[in-house]
Amino acid sequence: MRAIAFYLPQYHPIAENDQWWGEGFTEWTNVRKARPLFRHHRQPVIPGELGYYDLRDSDTREAQASLASAAGISGFCYWHYWFAGQRLLERPFAEVLDSGQPDFPFCLGWANESWSGVWHGNPDKILMQQSYPGPEDEARHFRLLEQAFKDPRYLTVDGKPIFYVYKPRQIPECLRFVEHWQKLAIEAGLKGIHFVGEDVYIDDHPWDYKANGFDAVVANTPGVAFLRLAKKRFLPRYLLPRAVHKLLRYPVLHKYRDFVAHSQVDPGHGDFYPAVLPNWDNTPRSGRNGFVLTGASPALFRSQLQYAVQQVEPRPPDKQLVFIKSWNEWAEGNYLEPDRKHGSTYLDVCRSVLGEQG
């Protein structure tokens, strides 16, 4: 049984963010400036024992890995950014790879979408365009990651390194791309690549992962549950259409209890890996255009995690995978790291549920 937590590297300044958002911008900038937008809205959230860390600090990365390991988390899925040769936020993982520390398993997830000003009320402003130039760029991309794929810490399935793709539907000639990388992997002495793709349309028009060469699929969370809730025939006040919320000047609100009930996905095949979510509140990024889950609690998170674990228990050990969104997405409100309110309670839940399986 392996639980893999997504890991955001945007906790150190980079030249591009300095230019776009002001000198010294990091994810903490959004977190610190957040304010309550409705009654009982818990903002800003304040980190616990790790504080407002800088991921250029190796001691911070060691502390994160220590907390995760003690909680039964099997590894981090570091978000990776590749824009036709241009990389962003690569420093923390590059230092993890080059130093060999922390000695904690990992895989990579390609966040293959354009960066825009959507979080700051300017969705039409493209900051970094995601493009797919073709085979030559694909080969450069693979060569960049080859060292990571061969690292003994890298998470695998059937001996193949796991490579997670955030928006596989957006890759033109997706099957050709996958086949190209599989060929490059074999030539590099690997057994291949275990491709995992994310999909939001699990219920309607699901993405055909097999036809596109992928090995497994993960439901987009919280997207799938949000779509399901929006389709309910009779909408309570907290599910009013987005246009009404804009007039009322507060974000779209969903109850976390309802989210948990509508987040359960079971396509009926063993190539599906469940994903769980401790909470969601992206108003630090999106303000009144955001979405908020209200009433989140460690107890409800426990029920969601237990269901996910039960889904994968019958499978061969190598494919008993659960993804957790996320380890440290503070500006989206989904994080396992200790905060001022809950302390390490969410990590305690992980330790309890995952430890039972161990």
Contacts of 282 (CB under 8 A, 6+ apart): 119, 290, 291, 292, 331, 332, 333
Q: Per-residue confidence at 233, pLDDT binned at 50, 70, 90?
A: very low
How confident is the model at residue 150, as a pLDDT?
98
Give, to the nearest 10 degrees, the angle between helix 135-149 and helix 174-187: 50
Task: Report the share of the chain in percent with pLDDT over 70.
Answer: 93
Counting DSSP H helices and E strands in the chain, the numbers are 12, 17
For 263-275, write each residue's pLDDT tens digit: 999 988 999 999 9
Q: How far apart are CA 123 and CA 223, in angstroms?
A: 19
Q: Per-residue confidence at 123, pLDDT binned at 50, 70, 90?
A: low
Q: Which CATH architecture has domain 2-357?
A: Alpha-Beta Barrel (3.20)
196: its two tokens: 């995992």
3-class SS of residue 357? helix
Q: Per-residue confidence at 116, pLDDT binned at 50, 70, 90?
A: confident
Name the residue among 69, 56, 49, 71 with its Cα closest to residue 24: 56
Cβ of 68: how many Cβ atoms within 10 Å? 25
Q: How far apart are CA 79 and CA 93, in angstroms?
A: 9
**Across 1-19, average pLDDT:** 97
Q: Per-residue confidence at 358, pLDDT binned at 50, 70, 90?
A: very low
242: its two tokens: 């987005």
**Across 35-44, average pLDDT:** 95
How confident is the model at residue 232, as a pLDDT?
73
The structural domains of the chain, with segments of one domain joined by +, span: 2-357
Give the start-end residues of each E strand in 84-159: 86-87, 106-110, 115-117, 122-128, 156-157
Q: Per-residue confidence at 243, pLDDT binned at 50, 70, 90?
A: low
Task: Report the share of the chain in percent with pLDDT over 90.
Answer: 87
CB contact burial 125-146 (16+ within 10 A = b; e otherwise): eebbebeeeeeeebeebbeebe
